[in-house]
Copies of this chain bind each other. A is one copy, B any other.
Amino acid sequence: MRSSRPLLLCVALVGAVAFADEGMWTFNNFPAAKVKAKYAFEPKQEWLDHVRLSAVRIAGGCSASIVSPEGLVLTNHHCAHQCIEQLSTQKQDFVKTGFFAKTLADEVRCPEMELNQLVEITDVTKRVQDATKTAAPDKFNDVQKGAIAKIEQDCAGGSDDVRCEVVTLYRGGRYDLYKYRRFQDIRLVFAPEFSIAFFGGDPDNFMFPRYDLDMSMVRIYGKDGKPMKMDHNLKWSQGGAKDNDVTFVVGNPGGTSRTLTVAQLEMDRDVRWPQYLERLGELRGWLTEYQRRGPEQKRHSTSELFYVENSLKAIKGRQEALADPAFFAALVKNEQELRKKIDGKPAWKKAYGPAFDGVAAAVARARQLRREYNALENFSGGELAGLARGFVRYADESTKPNEQRFKEFTDSRLPQLKQHLTSAAPIYDELEIAMLGWSLTRMREELTADHPVVQKVFGQKSPEELARELVTGTRLKDPKLRAELFAGGKAKIDALKDPMLEFVRSFDAEARAVRKTWEDEVEGPQKKASELIAKARFEAYGTSAYPDATFTLRISYGQVKGYQENGKEVKPFTTLAGAFTRHTGRDPFALPKSWLDAKSKLNGEVKFDFATDNDIIGGNSGSPVVNKDGELVGLVFDGNIQSLGGDYGFDEAVNRTVAVNSEAIIEALDKIYGAKRLVDELRPTGAAPKTGQP
């Protein structure tokens, strides 16, 4: 499924040449001529502004859209899964049973959800590039980080209601300042049962045909505790998506790698993905068996297992794309063509030629550093260790000037950090001990048992023993204490004697050191060289290309469309009736009771899920599918298996976006869930859907 968590986010580098329905376009570079030429439709600026302002980003890694003037927001079930799990208890498991707030008063706040609405884009390329003009490769990162933090700070003007972010587009070819409205009081309104949201489970994930109601609804609340009135929202279409409809997907693709150099692609293929496959495989096996400890353990770990399996399948698809000799050869050829053009002009050759070696050198350094970097700086051992790292770092970083902080502690990120560090979401000791024990074992494995950090951190203890001690001993489970720590800052945090904080502190110097080396010797030189390659690409191919995805708002165009697979036609739609045919009664092919009970009432011919050839990637989960009239006709929740290579290149013939049809949502809300208040809010005219829709 197409949510984006940090794992899937790629380091940003330079725009590719677009053809066919390819492209995740920025709103300030919409390819109006291309769309008009292909679909005889040219969206006006008003249309573009309206769909942009109707879209919201879920800061944790998904997309969504505003679907009523009262701040009702539509996204995927899997984008709200964490919230649904956090609101559940042993007595009331909303993941299993679904959730429906019968009245406004029943809507419940999600502990850690933040939504962002993109209100303004400003080109700040000159300001950013001027700052680093004379910076050596190993200083590049520091200098650029400082310049960006300053721009963001100036933009936000100290307000938490505004989130400003400088976005590196075209891998440094362009820097735009994105200004968002920030919403942090987000309340859960509706979610169906997990078994229909994720019908078919991991076996059907990234597959098509599909039969999933992967939807949920939340609502934006203002500081007055009332639903936020929104100026823009997508109108619900009458009739939903139809075959060959022109479709626009408006959302936040997390990251693509279509303009990486061959050295970077080789690193992905040979090092990064194999390593992820092994780790995620291990986590998958471990969590699957952990779930058998009991129903509570299963409940606590379901969203984690989903995340692991989803990432595993996505990465497997990426790795397999790169492992395909013809696919990889095409990527090599792309680079060779660019380099030939560069080498053809002496001035270009001088300016841009060395950049490829610059990237390669940075990649070689990354290969050397990656073990220590992963084990120390990327250490992640469950919620509590993560919170402890957050506080230990926050104590030190928050006392520094904004420009000198780690990126994730700059002013523009603090409200989201605060929300996370002070969240009242439940934490489960047993799962925490297991997660931390697993991570400690991996740390020892990466560094070896003789590494000084391992010797210091472990002493005579086993990973499990240490994990149990830290988890049972820490007071960080208490959200009230955490709120005090955050408010009290460095003094308060430093003063607290807590084993988990001590643990994190015990190797923080080493973690910071390897991060510094990484930033100076990998990231900085890579960014500097990539910026040059971006410029070369602009010179060689012009600026009418789209940049690699950056988990910022994009619009892609396409149409509802089937495809050929192993010589057979795959039709673009499934129906509600199809879900009953696929039902075996056994997880993950078991429809929930609510569906079985409502079967006779349902119109089985209603189109359920559908495929389009829009170009999307992880992070686009929850994006609205919009028709020419700017109406919502679908809800993106996945791509097909052929779309996974889309990280590196788009194949219009088979790469498909997978969405829930808007009519299926209405049919389910109305006839299965009795959610009339939502149907009325979504379709205020009260007009009934046409039956037997095409």
Q: Which residues of A contact B (CB under 8 A)?
A: 200, 202-204, 207, 266, 269-271, 273-274, 277-290, 312, 316, 319, 322-323, 325, 364, 434, 444-445, 448-449, 460-462, 465, 584-587, 589
Contacts and interface: CB of A to CB of B under 8 A. Distances in A.
A465 B586 CA distance: 9
A278 B434 CA distance: 21
Given A207-B448, A284-B282, A461-B586, A274 B277 contact: yes
20 contacts: A204-B449, A269-B270, A270-B270, A270-B322, A270-B323, A274-B319, A274-B323, A277-B281, A278-B312, A278-B316, A279-B281, A281-B282, A282-B285, A285-B285, A289-B434, A325-B364, A460-B586, A461-B586, A462-B587, A465-B586
Nearest to A585: B460
Contacts of A290: 289
B285 A289 contact: yes
B285 A584 contact: no
A288 B437 CA distance: 12
Nearest to A289: B289
Nearest to A588: B462
B281 A203 contact: no
Given A281-B282, A444-B203, A274 B273 contact: yes
A267 to B, nearest CB: 9
A460 B203 contact: no
Contacts of A465: 586
A364 B326 CA distance: 11
Contact of A285 (B269, B273, B281, B316): B281
Q: Oligomeric state, in number of copies?
A: 2
Contacts of A286: 285-286, 288-289
Contacts of A271: 323
Contacts of A284: 282, 285
Given A207-B448, A460-B586, 12 more contacts: A200-B449, A270-B323, A278-B278, A279-B281, A281-B285, A282-B284, A284-B285, A285-B285, A285-B287, A289-B289, A461-B584, A462-B587
Nearest to A322: B270
A584 B455 CA distance: 11
A387 to B, nearest CB: 24
Nearest to A271: B323
Contacts of A323: 270-271, 274
A131 B285 CA distance: 48
**Centre residue among A200, A284, A312, A325 by max chain B CB count within 10 A:** A325
Contacts of A589: 449
Top 10 closest A-B pairs, CB basis? A285-B285, A281-B281, A285-B286, A270-B323, A282-B285, A289-B289, A281-B282, A462-B586, A277-B278, A278-B281
Contacts of A586: 460-462, 465
A640 to B, nearest CB: 12
